[in-house]
C-alpha cells in the first residue's frame, strides 16, 4: 500500500516538472494580458474633458458650483458698480493731483513775479531829469519832460522819419516819457541828454534819438521801445 502511494506522488511530481506545451503557454499569456487590461481600466481615475465632442462617458464638464456666489445677481452688480466707481474716483483724483503739480511747477516763482512789475514814485523825479531803473534785467529810461521838450517832440515831422511814429503814440502823459534803454541797433545803452537832437546818443555806432526816443540819425533801424506801463495814480508809475 505504501509502495503504491509513493509511486503516485512521484508521477505527479514528474508531470509538474515537465515543460508546458506551446498552446497552453499562449493561452496563459492572453489570459494574463486581459487581466492586466481589466485592472488598468478599473484603476484609471482621470477623465480628460478634451477627448472629443459628442458627449458620452469621455466628455465631462468641470463642476463650478462650489465657486458660485451665494448672493443674488443684483447684489453682485451693486458691488461691481461700487468697485468700478471707487477705482474711477481714485484714478481721477490722482490725475488731477498730477496735472495740478505740473502746472504749479511750470508757473513763475515768487521772485520772478516780484520782478515782473516795478513801481516808481514819480514825485522824486524833478522836471527836466532822467532816471534809469532796472526792470527784468534791462535799463528803463524815465524822462520828466519840460514844456519845451513836449512841444519839440509833438512838432517834429514824424511822417518822414525812419520809424515814423507821432509822439502821442509813445506817451500816455506828455510829461512822462518811458522807454527801454536799449539801442535798437545792437543793444548798447544810449547816453541821455546827448546827441544832435537833444535826446539820447548811442556811442557804440553813433545813433541819435530825439526827445521822444525816435531814431533820427545813425544805424539804428527803430525807435527806442516803449514798455508796458500804467499810472495807478497821479504820483506813481507801474512798469510791467
Ligand atoms: S548799438 Fe547803438 S548804434 Fe550800434
Which of 191, 205, 216, 217 is the best mutation target for the ligand 1 pocket, counting ligand atoms within 8 Å of the beta carbon and taking the most? 205
Q: Is the pLDDT of residue 60 over 90?
A: no
Nearest atom of ligand 1 to the alpha carbon of 202: 2
Question: Which residues are identified as catalytic?
Answer: 205
Rounded Cα gap, residues 136 and 36, in angstroms: 101
26 membership: H or E segment, kind and range? helix 22-43
Which of 219, 222, 223 is the best mutation target for the ligand 1 pocket, counting ligand atoms within 8 Å of the beta carbon and taking the most? 219
Instruction: Cell 508521477: give the residue.
Output: 11
As a whole-number percent, the residues of the chain with pLDDT over 70 amount to: 75
Distances (CA, A) of 211 to 138, 151, 178: 20, 10, 11
42 pLDDT band (50/70/90 cuts)?
Answer: low
Lowest mean pLDDT among 19-33, 112-126, 173-187, 198-212: 19-33
Decide if 201 contacts 171 (C-beta within 8 A): no
Lowest mean pLDDT among 4-8, 43-47, 51-55, 155-159: 4-8
Protein residues with CB under 6 Å of any ligand 1 atom: 183, 185-186, 188, 202, 204-205, 207, 218-220
Q: What are the boundaries of each domain within the chain?
A: 77-107, 118-239
Decide if 189 contacts 238 (C-beta within 8 A): no
Residue owning the nearest CA to atom 1 of ligand 1: 186
Query: SS3 for 202?
Result: strand
Closest CA to 183 of 228, 218, 136: 218
Q: Which pLDDT tens digit goes with each residue over 145-201? A: 999 999 999 999 999 999 999 999 999 999 999 999 999 999 999 999 999 998 999
Lowest mean pLDDT among 46-50, 118-122, 187-191: 46-50
Distances (CA, A) of 183 to 21, 162, 226: 129, 15, 12
pLDDT at 148: 95
Interval 213-221 mean pLDDT: 95
Nearest atom of ligand 1 to the alpha carbon of 220: 3
What spacing in Å lies between the alpha carbon of 115 and ligand 1's midpoint?
Answer: 27
CATH topology for 118-239 is Rieske Iron-sulfur Protein (2.102.10)
Which residues, including other chains, have CB under 8 Å from residue 161's CB and lie 6 or more apart?
214, 215, 216
Amino acid at each position: 500500500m505504501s509502495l503504491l502511494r509513493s509511486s503516485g506522488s512521484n508521477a505527479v511530481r514528474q508531470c509538474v516538472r515537465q515543460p508546458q506545451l506551446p498552446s497552453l503557454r499562449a493561452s496563459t499569456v492572453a489570459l494574463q494580458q486581459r487581466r492586466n487590461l481589466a485592472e488598468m481600466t478599473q484603476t484609471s481615475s482621470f477623465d480628460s474633458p478634451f477627448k472629443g465632442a459628442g458627449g458620452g462617458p469621455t466628455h465631462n464638464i468641470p463642476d463650478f458650483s462650489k465657486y458660485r456666489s451665494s448672493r443674488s445677481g443684483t447684489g453682485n452688480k451693486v458691488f461691481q458698480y461700487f468697485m468700478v466707481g471707487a477705482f474711477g474716483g481714485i484714478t481721477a483724483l490722482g490725475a488731477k493731483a498730477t496735472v495740478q503739480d505740473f502746472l504749479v511747477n511750470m508757473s513763475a516763482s515768487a521772485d520772478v513775479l516780484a520782478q515782473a512789475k516795478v513801481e516808481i514814485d514819480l514825485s522824486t523825479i524833478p522836471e527836466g531829469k532822467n532816471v534809469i531803473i532796472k526792470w527784468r534785467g534791462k535799463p528803463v529810461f524815465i524822462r520828466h519832460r519840460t514844456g519845451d521838450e513836449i512841444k519839440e517832440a509833438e512838432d517834429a515831422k514824424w511822417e518822414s522819419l525812419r520809424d515814423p511814429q507821432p509822439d502821442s503814440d509813445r506817451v500816455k502823459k506828455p510829461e512822462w516819457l518811458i522807454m527801454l534803454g536799449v539801442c535798437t541797433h545792437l543793444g548798447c545803452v544810449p547816453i541821455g541828454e546827448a546827441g544832435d537832437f537833444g535826446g539820447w546818443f548811442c556811442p557804440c555806432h553813433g545813433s541819435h534819438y530825439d526827445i521822444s526816443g525816435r531814431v533820427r540819425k545813425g544805424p539804428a533801424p527803430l525807435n527806442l521801445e516803449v514798455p508796458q506801463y500804467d499810472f495807478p495814480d497821479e504820483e506813481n508809475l507801474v512798469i510791467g
